């Protein structure tokens, strides 16, 4: 590898690793001590892990965009993730994202076991969030509660979530005593807005849509870069730069927004006067992301300085595929333009699936581009892959629901 493409810190770390095999040293910079501390914490919290060796990559999976090929990848990944994660189910945001993927997997495959696991989880927690006046992260689990409600039509499934959301309605800030807007970081646009659109769908009460529209617009005004057509992760990143001088736009952060757009549009009424606002963002972001897609079909942790982060980043890439495929399937994005982008990206994602179903190259939790190992796999990233696979299977079947 040409270390001149890396930041000085990355190059120094890469060259200072005599204990690692020569191939590993040549392939990617290692996490800094601070990054490793996050990896260790994520592992201890059972979000995932990054072992030195995760075994062989899969050789029997195809990236063909056919229902059978996609289904095989989806089941392999979902089965592995369910087995490793189910003993540690909680209501934290990382798992909430994974749950959305399991719900999508169950619908796409017709296999009820993923949905049944989600219903057992929801019943265990009595369909309640984990915190009073939940922020976006803590509200995210309600996406699954509401999707289960749409299947079961049991009003008791809505009661506690609806009460929490009604308490949030009059708040102009994230919580009393905190002056930040409710969705002050771009990740929040995946976590919370779909809950508000789903609650509107469940109740027919316009106040939930009005809240969502008002607060997404506040986040847009604060964080959306109208020149780059990407979101700053939060206000602190608006003036930060990569080593190459470009603005910092974090792969997974943009992925959260793309996924959030797809999930909001799924439940937003076709005649809603604000719908065009979200469609336009989806189109602008998709065009930007397609223009910077890597030769391997994937995107890196730092979108505008990929040379400083040589490994692909799968959680962001998968969410981009999900958002683009959703747009194509609903006629919001031009299929002739985006199907090749999607196909190339999906092929790259499948190359990062291990024989047992582990999905590698998922960055640990954080707020900005970082280093990780190829084996790095975390529940939220797998959730993104499952969402992407389910949407791709719909595309392959010609289902534009």
Catalytic (active-site) positions? 187
Output the six-digit token pair for 18: 């005599």
Q: How buried is residue 153: exposed, middle or buried, by Cβ count under 10 Å (0-12/13-18/19+)?
A: exposed
How far apart CA 118 and CA 91 sit, in angstroms, is: 11
Dihedrals phi, psi of 179, to nearest 5 degrees: -80, -10
Indicate the DSSP class of residue 236. G
The residue among 250, 276, 247, 252 whose CA lies nearest residue 264 is 276
Q: 192, 199, 135, 197: which is closest to 161 by C-alpha? A: 199
Q: How far apart are CA 193 and CA 104, in angstroms?
A: 18
Contact 231, 186 (CB under 8 A): yes
Helix locations, 111-269, DSSP H: 112-124, 136-139, 142-152, 159-168, 188-191, 193-203, 206-223, 251-267
Q: Kindly state the tokens that stand for 391.
A: 């949407």
User: How far apart (Å, rounded) are the C-alpha atoms in residues 392 and 396?
Assistant: 6
- Work out the angle between the directed axes of helices 142-152 and 93-109 (0-180°, nearest 10): 30
**Phi and psi at residue 343, in whole multiples of 5°?**
-60, -40
Q: Angle at Cα 77 formed by Cα 71 and Cα 80, nearest 5°?
A: 135
Give me the count of residues in the chain. Answer: 401
What's the DSSP call for residue 44? H
- Helices marked H in 292-368: 314-329, 335-350
As to burial, measured by CB atoms within 10 angstroms (0-12 exposed, 13-18 middle, 19+ buried), residue 46 is: middle
Write out the two tokens for 289: 């992301």
Q: Which of 169, 162, 133 is nearest to 146 (CA)?
A: 162
């Amino acid at each position: 590898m040409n270390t001149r493409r890396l930041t000085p810190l990355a190059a120094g770390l890469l060259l200072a690793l005599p204990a690692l095999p020569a191939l590993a040293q040549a392939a990617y910079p290692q996490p800094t001590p601070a990054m490793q501390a996050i990896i260790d914490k994520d592992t201890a919290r059972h979000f995932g892990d990054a072992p030195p060796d995760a075994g062989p990559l899969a050789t029997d999976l195809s990236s063909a965009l056919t229902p059978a090929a996609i289904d095989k990848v989806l089941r392999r990944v979902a089965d592995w993730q369910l087995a490793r994660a189910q003993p540690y189910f909680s209501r934290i945001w990382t798992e909430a994202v994974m749950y959305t993927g399991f719900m999508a997997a169950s619908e796409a495959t017709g296999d009820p076991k993923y949905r049944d696991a989600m219903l057992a989880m929801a019943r265990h927690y009595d369909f309640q969030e984990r915190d009073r006046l939940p922020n976006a992260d803590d509200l995210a689990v309600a996406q699954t509660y509401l999707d289960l409600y749409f299947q079961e039509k049991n009003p008791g499934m809505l009661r506690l979530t609806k009460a929490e959301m009604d308490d949030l309605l009059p708040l102009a800030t994230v919580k009393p005593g905190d002056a930040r807007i409710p969705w002050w970081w771009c990740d929040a646009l995946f976590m919370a807005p779909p809950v508000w659109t789903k609650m509107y769908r469940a109740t027919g009460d316009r106040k939930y849509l009005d809240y969502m529209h008002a607060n997404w617009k506040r986040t847009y005004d604060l964080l959306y870069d109208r020149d780059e057509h990407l979101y700053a992760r939060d206000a602190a990143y608006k003036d930060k730069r990569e080593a190459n001088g470009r603005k910092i736009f974090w792969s997974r952060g943009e992925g959260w927004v793309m996924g959030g757009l797809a999930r909001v549009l799924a439940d937003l009424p076709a005649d809603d006067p604000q719908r065009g606002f979200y469609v336009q963002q989806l189109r602008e972001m998709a065009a930007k992301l397609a223009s910077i897609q890597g030769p391997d079909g994937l995107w890196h942790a730092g979108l505008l300085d990929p040379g400083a982060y040589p490994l692909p980043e799968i959680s962001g890439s998968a969410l981009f595929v999900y958002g683009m495929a959703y747009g194509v399937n609903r006629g919001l994005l031009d299929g002739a333009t985006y199907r090749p982008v999607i196909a190339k990206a999906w092929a790259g994602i499948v190359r990062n699936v291990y024989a047992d179903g582990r999905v590698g190259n998922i960055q640990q939790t954080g707020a900005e581009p970082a280093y990780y190992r190829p084996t790095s796999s975390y529940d939220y990233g797998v959730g993104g892959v499952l969402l992407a696979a389910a949407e791709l299977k719909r595309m392959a079947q010609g289902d534009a629901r």
